[in-house]
Amino acid sequence: AQRVTQPEKLLSVFKGAPVELKCNYSYSGSPELFWYVQYSRQRLQLLLRHISRESIKGFTADLNKGETSFHLKKPFAQEEDSAMYYCALSGVRAQKLVFGQGTRLTINP
Amino acid sequence: DAGVIQSPRHEVTEMGQEVTLRCKPISGHDYLFWYRQTMMRGLELLIYFNNNVPIDDSGMPEDRFSAKMPNASFSNLKIQPSEPRDSAVYFCASSLGAGGLSGELFFGEGSRLTVL
């Protein structure tokens, strides 16, 4: 079974401070991990995926298979980062995307 | 392309009434997903289709829920009879998947359902 856990429903940090949104997963096969983001009044959209190993809007996420984690990080938070963030998991052979409960990130000025 | 189109955007109904939510996926996408978003449970996958065929409906909460995809450009999700606990935002998403979900999901704007 696929499961994604985001332990923090709410996270609030000050502008310029580092941000880390936690994500842990459970999956017996080879996972594919994603972060999706929903800004206010916008559609839920893909932020980044682990296979791309890219930095998007200053965010990075590293897949740690030993700890079964895929935490999202940004060294210096900006006010426009305030949004709802969802971690998601798919197996290479499983075609469905399972999401965590989401973390609402608020960046305070 | 206008993206994934969902209707209605908002629906307020009374307990016991039938609710129908509609979705038009992006043209050419072969996967369609229905998700439900609530504060308590986050985004839950209800059902998904591949080439109009339901593949996994294990997330459909009860027999009151049903979904169909009669053709590649339309899907609907029905709740009959509706209950207050069905109140949520229902999202439809489509993707062009190939050999596992390495493709990106494109979401609609969601249908906010309130059952009184």
**In this complex, is the C-beta atom of A6 within 8 Å of any C-beta atom belonging to chain B?**
yes
Mean pLDDT of A27-44: 91
Say yes or no for a CB contact (<8 Å) between A51 and B102. yes
Nearest partner of B30 among B109, B103, B107, B90, judged by Cα: B103
Q: What is the pLDDT of residue B99?
A: 39
pLDDT at A43 exceeding the cut of 50: yes
What is the β-pairing status of strands A24-26 and B111-115?
Answer: unpaired
Phi, psi of A71 (to 5 degrees): -75, 145
Given CA atoms B91, B21, B65, B112 in this order, what sign does their dihedral have?
A: positive
**In this complex, is the C-beta atom of A30 within 8 Å of any C-beta atom belonging to chain B?**
no
CB contacts of A90 in chain B (<8 Å) are: 100-101
Evaluate whether B22 touches B76 at the Cβ level (below 8 Å): yes
Q: What is the pLDDT of residue A93?
A: 64
Cβ-based contacts under 8 A for chains A and B: 60
Mean pLDDT of B86-101: 81
CA distance B22 to chain A (A): 17
Q: What is the pLDDT of residue A38?
A: 95
**In this complex, is the C-beta atom of A40 within 8 Å of any C-beta atom belonging to chain B?**
no
What is the rounded distance in angstroms from the CA atom of residue B31 to the CA atom of residue B53?
9
Query: pLDDT tens, A2-16?
Result: 899 999 999 999 999
Q: What DSSP designation does A69 have?
A: B
Q: What is the pLDDT of residue B100?
A: 43
pLDDT at B7 exceeding the cut of 60: yes
Query: pLDDT tens, A74-85?
Result: 999 999 999 999
Which of A25, A39, A95 to probe the B interface (max B CBs under 10 A)? A95
Query: pLDDT tens, B33-68?
Result: 999 999 888 899 999 999 999 999 999 988 999 999
Mean pLDDT of B88-108: 80
**In this complex, is the C-beta atom of A31 within 8 Å of any C-beta atom belonging to chain B?**
no
For chain B, what is the mean pLDDT? 92
